């Protein structure tokens, strides 16, 4: 028996639509999941929507349950929270996170989902993929007791990283952004905030997540001698200049990338991707992270919402997509709420 579903597809750069889909009944070790919420990963999904993923990276950028190919038509996304409707009796009725695109229902292997801890509400759980990136970054950064740390870029990823780093004892953690409104985000997360020109110097470690050339330059300027920048930003096709002149060499600075597609070398023998995701969900028990969800739209509005997010008209940190009465999704209009 086939089941009906609806999914958001990017037809070509800048143009998306809602398509119907037919799902098979779940087989052994598979689950049927009804989506409650999905989240828009602002940085990556904007690059995908605008067609700015380099052709050389198409294979590496594939989402776990992507259909189609970049630059389009493609079904892309990976922040999905739903309830299990059929499958393993131990999971039926449970709310789970899955790295699945924006779709009303879907069938996946049971191994692809992570049940939510009881203290993590479904809306906040859409941040799990972003928090997983933050966990990986902190593993890569390997901060030490008492380190002076800056996080440059107060978007979804940078804010999650700052939240994790703030738990390290005796460390100084400062969240830095060119937008003064992000001070409220930092305050909610319990970390200090500064504009780039006011940021504390002599940092042992800087995590860069602003996806801008200016942010990377600032990150290098903030380092103490022998300090290191952990680069989380992904620029797509955009070319940036790295200031390796001035005192870069005399201060023996370093820039090292961190990417969520691989576990850090120091953790590969002792952790799995499932372990990392479970830890990310545990960290989302902090209610302060609710502050990162600053925009909400209905599933049926996605074709109109994505251009506004990619173009900067909707500057939400995490834009939450809600899935209510599916029969009304196609008629949903004009109910988008934006945040700061």
CB contact set of 263 (below 8 Å; sequence gap of 6+): 136, 139, 271, 272, 273, 276
Structure tokens belonging to residue 206: 């800087």
Structure tokens belonging to residue 75: 């079904």
Quickly tell me which residue has 């009303």 as its tokens: 104
Could you tell me if 32 and 23 are in contact, meaning their C-beta atoms sit under 8 angstroms apart?
Answer: yes
> What element of type H or E holds 266?
none
pTM: 0.86
C-alpha separations of 171 from 27, 174, 196, 203 in Å: 49, 10, 20, 11
Could you tell me if 98 and 33 are in contact, meaning their C-beta atoms sit under 8 angstroms apart?
Answer: yes
**What is the per-residue pLDDT for 2?**
65
Could you tell me if 192 and 162 are in contact, meaning their C-beta atoms sit under 8 angstroms apart?
Answer: no
Ordered per-residue pLDDT tens for the chain, 340 residues = 568 999 999 999 999 999 999 999 999 999 999 999 999 988 789 989 999 998 988 988 899 999 999 999 999 999 999 999 999 999 999 999 999 999 999 999 999 999 999 999 999 999 999 999 999 999 999 999 999 999 999 999 999 999 999 988 878 999 999 999 999 999 999 999 999 999 999 999 999 999 899 999 999 999 999 999 999 988 777 788 888 877 889 999 999 999 888 899 989 999 999 999 999 999 999 999 999 998 899 999 999 999 999 988 887 788 999 998 653 444 333 333 333 3
Count CA atoms within 13 Å of residue 62 on its CB side: 8
**What is the per-residue pLDDT for 327?**
36
**What is the per-residue pLDDT for 157?**
93
Asked if residue 73 has a cis previous peptide bond (ω within 30° of 0), the answer is: yes
**What is the per-residue pLDDT for 170?**
73
Judged by DSSP in three states, 253 sits in coil
Quickly tell me which residue has 């009725």 as its tokens: 93
The closest alpha carbon to 163, from 144, 198, 137, belongs to: 137
The closest alpha carbon to 319, from 33, 39, 13, belongs to: 39
Could you tell me if 106 and 35 are in contact, meaning their C-beta atoms sit under 8 angstroms apart?
Answer: yes
**What is the per-residue pLDDT for 332?**
38
Residue 1 burial class via C-beta count within 10 angstroms: exposed 0-12, middle 13-18, buried 19 and up: exposed
**What is the per-residue pLDDT for 242?**
83
Angstrom distance (rounded) from CA 179 to CA 192: 14
Which domains can be identified in the chain, with CATH numbers? 3-127+284-329 (3.90.180.10), 136-265 (3.40.50.720)
The closest alpha carbon to 37, from 328, 339, 319, 335, belongs to: 319
């Amino acid at each position: 028996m086939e089941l009906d579903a609806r999914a958001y597809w990017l037809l070509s750069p800048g143009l998306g639509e809602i398509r119907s889909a037919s799902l098979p009944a779940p087989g052994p070790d598979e689950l049927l999941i009804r989506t409650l919420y999905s989240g828009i990963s602002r940085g990556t999904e904007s690059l995908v929507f605008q067609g700015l993923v380099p052709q050389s990276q198409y294979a590496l950028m594939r989402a776990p349950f992507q259909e189609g190919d970049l630059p389009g038509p493609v079904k892309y996304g990976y922040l999905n929270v739903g309830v299990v409707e059929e499958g393993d009796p131990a999971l039926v009725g449970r709310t789970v996170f899955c790295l699945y695109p924006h779709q009303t229902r879907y069938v996946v292997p049971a191994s692809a989902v992570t049940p939510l801890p009881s203290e993590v509400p479904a809306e906040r759980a859409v941040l799990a993929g972003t928090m997983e990136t933050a966990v990986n970054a902190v593993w890569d950064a390997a901060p030490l007791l008492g380190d002076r740390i800056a996080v440059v870029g107060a978007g979804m990823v940078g804010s999650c990283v700052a939240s994790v780093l703030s738990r390290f004892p005796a460390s100084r953690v400062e969240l830095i952004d060119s937008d003064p409104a992000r001070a409220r985000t930092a305050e909610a997360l319990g970390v200090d905030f500064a504009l780039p020109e006011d940021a504390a110097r002599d940092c042992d470690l800087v995590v860069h997540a602003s996806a801008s050339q200016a942010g990377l330059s600032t990150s290098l300027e903030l380092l103490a001698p022998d300090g290191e920048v952990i680069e989380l930003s992904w620029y797509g096709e955009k070319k940036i200049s790295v200031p390796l002149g001035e005192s870069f060499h005399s201060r023996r600075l370093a820039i090292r990338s961190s990417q969520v597609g691989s576990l850090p070398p120091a953790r590969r023998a002792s952790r799995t991707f499932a372990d990392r995701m479970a830890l990310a969900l545990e960290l989302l028990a902090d209610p302060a992270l609710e502050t990162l969800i600053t925009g909400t739209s209905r599933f049926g509005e996605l074709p109109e919402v994505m251009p506004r997010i990619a173009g900067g008209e909707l500057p939400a940190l995490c834009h939450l997509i809600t899935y209510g009465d599916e029969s009304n999704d196609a008629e949903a209009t004009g109910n988008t709420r934006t945040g700061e």
